[in-house]
A and B are shown apart, each in its own frame.
Chain A
């Protein structure tokens, strides 16, 4: 049973470009969470999704950020018009609906 798969592992974008981060949850998991981690800091919640539904987006910036978890395919975190402050590690976690969250290896986004 493969773990949570995130790609790409590293993503470099220039200011103003779009970044698309992908997350495939563990098999049988229908709950996906996205977290952001700045260097030397903790994990900050961004959004919680179930298939085709956004359950909690209280941690998402109001502009430029969006997330989806379609019926088929991976969950996508999309950042439009990236700025240098978006540079961070973005982690996806999945769960079957119970307490345990399992994290992927993350996507390191660097904005030049």
Chain B
């Protein structure tokens, strides 16, 4: 089955700096890659997603890149703010209707 690896497991950045989280996946049939943000005591919240026919997608301070050949994708957060502190999860999925396989998560701490 699909296996998703996520790095780093923890990331501490100064407010205003950028944060980058990287994920690799094993199944070349995966074609959908969402990112979720989970705050303490809450459920994961979808923040951005990308499909395999797109190489990059941006939404304000958040961007995701995908390299299908290398089977890796990354989340970029620019101009980080304290409210960006949370655990971020990447995931991969083969086709609509199939399960999402999640990475192990990255705990991001933005220091004011």
Binding site for B on A (CB under 8 A): 4, 6, 31, 33, 35, 41-45, 48, 55-56, 58-59, 91, 97-106
Contacts and interface: CB of A to CB of B under 8 A. Distances in A.
B26 to A, nearest CB: 15
Nearest to A100: B46
Nearest to B51: A99
Given A42-B6, A99-B96, A106-B42, 4 more contacts: A35-B102, A48-B99, A99-B51, A104-B43
A35 B101 CA distance: 10
Contacts of B43: 4, 6, 91, 103-106
Nearest to B105: A42
Nearest to B95: A99
Nearest to A43: B102
Interface residues of B, number: 24
Nearest to B101: A45
B51 to A, nearest CB: 8
B33 to A, nearest CB: 9
Interface in B17-47: 32, 34, 36, 42-46
Contact of B44 (A6, A43, A99): A43
20 contacts: A6-B43, A41-B104, A42-B89, A45-B99, A45-B102, A48-B99, A56-B98, A56-B99, A91-B44, A97-B97, A99-B32, A99-B93, A99-B96, A100-B34, A100-B49, A101-B100, A104-B43, A105-B42, A105-B43, A106-B43
Interface in B88-112: 89, 93, 96-105
Contacts of B97: 31, 55, 97
Contacts of A6: 43
A82 B6 CA distance: 31
User: Interface centre among B43, B49, B101, B102, by most A CB within 10 Å?
Assistant: B43
A102 B99 contact: no
Nearest to B36: A103
A44 to B, nearest CB: 8
Contacts of B49: 99-100
A51 to B, nearest CB: 13
